[in-house]
Copies of this chain bind each other. A is one copy, B any other.
Amino acid sequence: MSVPLHISISEKLRCQIEAGEYSPGEKLPSEHQLMETFNVSRITVRQAIANLVNQGLVQTRQGKGVFVTPQQKVSYSLSSPLVFLEKDIGRKGIQFTFENLTFKKVSPPEEVLSILQIDNNPVAYLQKKLLRMDGVAGAIDMSYVLPEFGQQFRTQLKRQMTFPTLEENGIPIEQIDAVIESTHADYEAGDYLDVPLGHPLIVYRYTTYTTNHRPIVYGETISRADRFCYALTIKR
């Protein structure tokens, strides 16, 4: 009796899902039905369902039911030579669009100042874009751009992605230093990406350099970990 009821129930359901007894998108039995099936209280059934939600196997929709999450991920290629995200996505036959959430002059945090080497003049342009794949919100890109570029290319930056804008204006992207990590959705990110609080997100944090190793953009692309992954190739 050392394994809690809610765990044994969620493990049973997990096996059924993985065995395909409930297919992706399909509805699980309602809480009431599960209460009868397993002969437990609603609190225990809800705990079991919460376990499945935490494992990313199901999603709940109030008033409708609990549904098996369809699993398939879109990958971003990071291999050199550099490919722009929107092109890479487009090549896979997925329609890429974005929506401007923010574009303004700000005083960025300490770390960003030192990364962009603008400690003397603490100003940069902050842009937030909501990226959509086939119309569905998939990622948020938040980046700080050097003030002179933000000023000069503001119209273009609002219309298209950052990297193509810079390259079109004769500012080549020479190198990107990046870190990939995973975090949990906070309230804001959850809101934009339509995921519950704590949902796993994958964060791609980048510093972009132009010639002479001059840093020009620092940003983060935050995507839903259930829908995206990063692909890369390393050579000897």
User: Residues of A at under 8 Å CB distance from B?
Assistant: 7, 10-11, 14, 51, 53-56, 73, 75, 78-82, 172-187, 197-198, 200-202, 225, 228-236
Q: Check A232 against B78 for contact (C-beta < 8 Å).
A: yes
Copies in the complex: 2
User: Are B179 and A231 touching (Cβ within 8 A)?
Assistant: yes
User: Which of B56, B229, B234 is within 8 Å of A184, CB to CB?
Assistant: B56
Q: Which residues of B contact A173 (CB under 8 A)?
A: 236
One of B55, B177, B181, B232 near A202 (C-beta < 8 A): B181
Q: Which residue of the partner chain B has the closest CB to A197?
A: B51
Could you tell me if B178 and A233 are in contact, using CB atoms closer than 8 angstroms?
Answer: yes
Chain B residues, CB < 8 A from A79: 234
A202 to B200, CA, bound (A): 10
CA of A78 to CA of B176 in the docked complex: distance in angstroms?
13
**Which residue of B80, B198, B235 is within 8 Å of A234 (Cβ)?**
B80
